[in-house]
């Protein structure tokens, strides 16, 4: 039983099938995040020996690093079902209760964007996670009665891009908490070569590393770029991805040597030109760029912070000297128009 949060049209289904086909099915196939993988191997093996469900698990990290993939792998390794939902989809307590009461022993319940669960729904999770029970309230006022419904033991896996927004009571109920970090180029190149084999495209070492270098340390981005380079190679290069082909294709896509795209450069330019290098608050950036602040915080900003193009201070975001150099701007002339 898998709950989807949105209707799937034919194009979405095809895209989802391709994404799923690129996902590893076991921990032995999973590339990168070595310490997390080793922790999960031990926890899974111990749980299987005891014939018990796993402890609840929380994965934290920027989008595209493999949180959902790990949840599906865990279900596969444990030999159980996985039921998926997301924080915004669980609008009422009844939505959650309907899923929990249909769980079988050992099932994996995966909640993406768990930090966005409404407070009223979150409170239903506390007894479910701790005591494997939910409380129903009948009537109101002086006639109110409660009934505790026992649940089968299950494993909740939560994924979040902003662990700081989780309440302490919820965070403390997870037995295993792990932070996923950006991937290095070596691991990304391995992922790209594996994906290229699956989608039946020829790629050499140079091509794989060129895509990896521009993939923002993120497997999801690496696979997306691989598909774009595949299209280019099939039309312009006899279906073979070399370093030169990858460079040409990604330059056409507007992806530079550091993996920055148009929106990344716009953000840096906005800080440097509009706000004299910063500091500038996230809401001001959001209004200027006409992008949701959540998109800036969760999707765009983490990589720019990691690679040192911006820094975050108590007053706001500031562009670094590295950002000025990358945009060919003189740090002493903050109003100079960048050259590309």
Architecture in CATH for domain 185-252: Orthogonal Bundle (1.10)
68 is catalytic: yes
With b for 16 or more beta-carbon neighbours within 10 A and e for fewer, the 267-289 pattern comes to bbbbbbbebebbbbeeebbbeeb
Q: Which one from 23, 67, 214, 317 is the annotated catalytic residue?
A: 67
Q: Which one from 112, 187, 265, 307 is the annotated catalytic residue?
A: 112
Instruction: Return all residues near 260 (Cβ < 8 A) that are at least 6 apart.
Output: 268, 309, 326
Q: Which one from 214, 220, 265, 318 is the annotated catalytic residue?
A: 220
- Mark out the alpha helices in 132-261 (DSSP H runs): 168-171, 185-198, 205-213, 219-236, 243-252
84 is catalytic: no
pLDDT band at 22 (very low <50, low <70, confident <90, very high): confident
Q: How many Å apart are CA 163 and CA 148, to the nearest integer?
A: 30
Task: Give the pLDDT confidence of 130-171 residue by residue, as tens digits.
Answer: 989 887 776 666 666 677 788 899 999 999 998 888 999 999
DSSP single-letter state for residue 280: B
Q: How many Å apart are CA 213 and CA 65, to the nearest integer?
A: 16
Q: How many Å apart are CA 146 and CA 163, to the nearest integer?
A: 32
φ/ψ of residue 174, rounded to 5: -90, 125
Domain boundaries, the chain: 10-179, 185-252, 262-326
Q: How many Å apart are CA 86 and CA 114, to the nearest integer?
A: 6
Confidence at residue 139, expressed as pLDDT on a 0 to 100 scale: 62
Instruction: Return all residues near 290 (Cβ < 8 A) that are at least 6 apart.
Output: none
Q: Which one from 80, 155, 160, 161 is the annotated catalytic residue?
A: 161
- The model's pTM is 0.84
Q: How many Å apart are CA 332 and CA 340, to the nearest integer?
A: 19
Q: How far apart are the first and last CA of the chain?
A: 51
320 is catalytic: no
Q: What is the largest CA-CA distance in the chain?
A: 77
Q: How many Å apart are CA 208 and CA 185, to the nearest integer?
A: 9
Instruction: Return all residues near 139 (Cβ < 8 A) that are at least 6 apart.
Output: 145
pLDDT band at 328 (very low <50, low <70, confident <90, very high): confident
67 is catalytic: yes
Q: How many Å apart are CA 302 and CA 304, to the nearest integer?
A: 6
216's torsion region: left (phi>0), alpha (psi -120 to 50) or beta? left
* % pLDDT > 70, the chain: 89
Task: Give the pLDDT confidence of 219-241 residue by residue, as tens digits.
Answer: 999 999 999 999 999 998 888 99
Please tell me if the domain spanning 10-179 has the same topology as the one spanning 262-326: no
337 is catalytic: no
CATH fold of the domain at 10-179: Rossmann fold (3.40.50)
Architecture in CATH for domain 262-326: Orthogonal Bundle (1.10)
Confidence at residue 124, expressed as pLDDT on a 0 to 100 scale: 85
φ/ψ of residue 157, rounded to 5: -115, 120
Confidence at residue 115, expressed as pLDDT on a 0 to 100 scale: 92
The number of angstroms, rounded, from the C-alpha of 76 to the middle of its chain's C-alpha atoms is 20
Task: Give the pLDDT confidence of 42-95 residue by residue, as tens digits.
Answer: 999 999 999 999 999 999 999 999 999 999 999 999 999 999 999 998 888 778
């Amino acid at each position: 039983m898998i709950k989807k949060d949105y209707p799937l049209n034919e194009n979405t289904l095809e895209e989802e099938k391709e994404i799923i086909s690129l996902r590893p099915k076991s921990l032995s196939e999973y590339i990168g995040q070595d310490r997390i993988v080793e922790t999960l191997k031990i926890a899974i093996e111990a749980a299987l020996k005891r014939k018990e469900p796993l402890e609840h698990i929380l994965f934290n990290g920027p989008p595209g690093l493999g949180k959902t993939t790990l949840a599906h792998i865990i279900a596969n390794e444990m030999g159980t079902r996985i039921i998926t939902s997301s924080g915004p989809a669980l609008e009422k307590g009844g939505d959650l209760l309907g899923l929990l009461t249909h769980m079988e022993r050992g099932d994996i319940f995966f909640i993406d964007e768990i930090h966005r669960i409404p407070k009223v729904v979150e409170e239903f999770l506390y007894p479910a996670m701790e005591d494997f029970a939910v409380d129903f309230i009948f009537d109101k006022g002086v006639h109110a009665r409660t009934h505790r419904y026992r649940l089968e033991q299950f494993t909740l896996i939560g994924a979040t891009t902003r662990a700081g927004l989780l309440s302490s009571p919820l965070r403390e109920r997870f037995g295993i908490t792990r932070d996923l970090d950006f991937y290095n180029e070596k691991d990304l190149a391995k992922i790209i070569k594996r994906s290229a084999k699956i989608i039946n495209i020829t790629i050499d070492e140079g091509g794989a590393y060129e895509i990896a270098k521009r993939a923002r340390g993120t497997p999801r981005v690496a696979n997306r770029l691989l598909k774009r380079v595949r299209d280019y190679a099939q039309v312009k290069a006899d279906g073979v991805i070399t370093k030169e082909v990858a460079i040409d294709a990604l330059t056409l896509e507007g992806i530079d040597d550091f993996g920055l795209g148009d929106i990344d450069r716009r953000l840096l330019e906005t800080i440097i030109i509009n706000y004299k290098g910063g500091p500038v608050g996230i809401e001001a950036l959001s209004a200027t760029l006409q992008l949701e602040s959540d998109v800036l915080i969760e999707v765009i900003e983490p990589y720019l912070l990691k690679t040192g193009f911006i820094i975050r201070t108590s007053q706001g975001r500031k562009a670094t000297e590295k950002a000025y150099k990358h945009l060919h701007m003189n740090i002493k002339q903050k109003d100079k128009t960048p050259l590309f």
